[in-house]
Amino acid sequence: MIDPILSLSFSIHSSPGVYALLLGSGVSRSAGIPTGWEVVLDLIRKLAHLKGEDCEPDPAAWFKDKFGKEPEYSKLLDDISKSPAERQQFHKSYFEPTEEEREQGLKLPTSAHKAIAEVVSKGYMKVIITTNFDRLLEKALEESGVMPVVISTPDGVDGAIPLIHSKFTIIKVNGDYLDARLKITEDELSKYDKRINCLLDRILDEFCLIVCGWSAKWDIALREALEHCKNHRFTTYWTFKDEIDDISKKLIGLRRAQVISIKNADSFFSELAEKVLALEELSKPHPLSVKAAVASLGKYIADNRYKINLHNLITSETEKLYSELNDKNFPVQGIAFSADELVKRVKKYEALTEILLALTINGCYWGDERHQKLWVQCLERIANHAGERNGLTVWLNLRLYPALLLLYGAGIASIAAEKYDTFSTMLSKVKIRDGSEEEPAIFYLNTANVMKQSVGQQLPGKERHYTPLSDHLYDHLRIFLEKFLPDDFHYQMCFDKFEYLFALVYADLQEKKNGRLWGPIGCFGWRYRDSDNRSMMDEIEREIEKGYRPLIETLIRAGFFNVSMERFKQVKESYDESLAKLHWF
């Protein structure tokens, strides 16, 4: 049997952003943070002391006998602390360390908090649900450079950034210690505001769940939220330290959860973070490999005496990648589609392509006409993948993803360097073999063909995006092009210009092929739907009006648009009209 922590580590690594944590008081126990009920008992002791009575050995029983009802946290707090300032100081005594406690390492982020923060900072998690009042997790995240969105009240739900747009969100379902509206007693824990319930329903439906340090016994409303979540598309992992109570057993059965026995929260999260980050290192080429390859290219491309060395470098890395893109590593038959499998494949393709992508981007930026044939051969080799011709369509289409990465990288780098001949050559010369026929690669190497919108929306953080794969490429390629386009605005302009002109070339060829003028829609499709934010499209229109249009004329000279500026204008006008008709425009 595979160690469940190892299985969980693989799942988290292959599906970043898919997992959410549900954390209870057990995660903060080693920091010396009291549970909510322990705070209530202490409040009762203080109240008894003010009345000159002894409430031991059972403060809760004393309170019920004295007042004829169960203790309510908010009313107890009113009796002990009258002003907001007093209440805040009262809370701080439980959740913030004194100097002595700080020296002892108490009420400070634990190993568990720090391990969680490390995994979050790498983008592997986006959401945490917690019943804890303390701010140890927030402190650990801030130390890791993550500023979380924190929702601790129903009002906070209304003003919060949507989960898909937030880097990280903490939902404190029972409140925050600096707010007196804490949920502690059984009555308070039995119901949540409708807004909190709706948010919980969405998270429990859309995310995998890891439960740690939480007992289902007391948090009745949270328990009910888990019970009425009917979808179990993702695995739930439920950790336990000692015996599992009957209520938790019921929830584990309902969610068909994988149970993991742990020593404590600190050791569990430390081990989990260690394994996830180890997998991250193993899946990437060593940074020196990329840097060494790019350094060699810089030397070879600058001096024609090294043209053989340059050719050998590129063809060697191309063949390394080609050999990895086989049906054994990426089977297209017998593997059902799932979001986990999609993300795993995308990440694996990206890791394998990293060196060749860096070489292609640097080569197209610094190279000239002498080197264009090399980039064409490289892209054609990766695009014309040998393998099974029958299989699940989504996996067959996804095999073109490495070639799509290379085409985007080459095209954007060429535009950034104003190497327009290189850009037009990549669009016009690269061919893909379909049986005995050869067709322009752009019919296959486009976001609409490689990944349908509904499939792309399974990517983490892209669930409701109009152009999910385009948006993902925009994020992924940013670091590769950062040294050439350090300014985000210029990067966006070059990225959008590549996708827009690519779409116009596609539309031109598509109409000639089957009479339908259509081109794939990239980020620019939704980015420029606002007439006040049309920077890239306005720039192209100004170039046409002023007659200074080297990029467009280069495409025309390459044979596109019937070698006619009038044809270009016609295609552009028709394509822009089709964009304007989209319902999200």
| pLDDT single digits (tens) 316-352 | 999 999 999 998 889 999 889 988 889 989 999 999 9
Residue 287: the pLDDT is: 56
pLDDT beyond 80 at 487: yes
Is 394's pLDDT higher than 90? yes
Could you report the per-residue pLDDT of 109-124, keeping only the tens digit for each?
A: 999 999 999 999 988 9
Quote the tokens at residue 476.
């992924």
Residue 20 has pLDDT above 90, yes or no: yes
- Is 3.40.50.1220 the CATH classification of the domain at 4-32+109-277? yes
Give dist(CA 281, CA 564) in Å, integer: 51
φ, ψ (nearest 5 deg) of residue 357: -65, -45
Q: Hey, what are 139's tokens?
A: 């402190």
- The per-residue pLDDT of the chain, averaged, comes to 88
Mean pLDDT of 95-105: 89
Q: For 63-80, how does the pLDDT look when each residue is reduced to its tens digit (9 = 90+)?
A: 989 888 888 766 776 666
Question: Is the pLDDT assigned to residue 531 strictly greater than 80?
Answer: no
Query: In this model, does residue 463 exceed pLDDT 80?
Result: yes
Confidence label for 577 from pLDDT (cuts 50, 70 and 90): confident
Strands 19-23 and 169-172: unpaired
Instruction: Supply the pLDDT for residue 179.
Output: 78
Give residue for tokens 């490390």.
118
pLDDT above 50 for 1: no
Residue whose token pair is 């993702």: 234
What is the pLDDT at residue 585? 43
Higher pLDDT, 541 or 203: 203
pLDDT tens digits, 129-142: 999 989 999 999 99
Boundaries of every domain in the chain:
4-32+109-277, 36-103, 284-580
Q: What is the mean pLDDT of residues 144-162?
A: 88
Burial (0-12, 13-18, 19+ Cβ within 10 Å), 457: middle
Tokens in use for 423?
């850009």
Alpha helices by DSSP H, listed for 417-521, are: 420-429, 447-450, 453-456, 468-481, 488-514
Q: pTM for this one?
A: 0.56
CA–CA gap between residue 160 and residue 401 (Å, rounded): 34
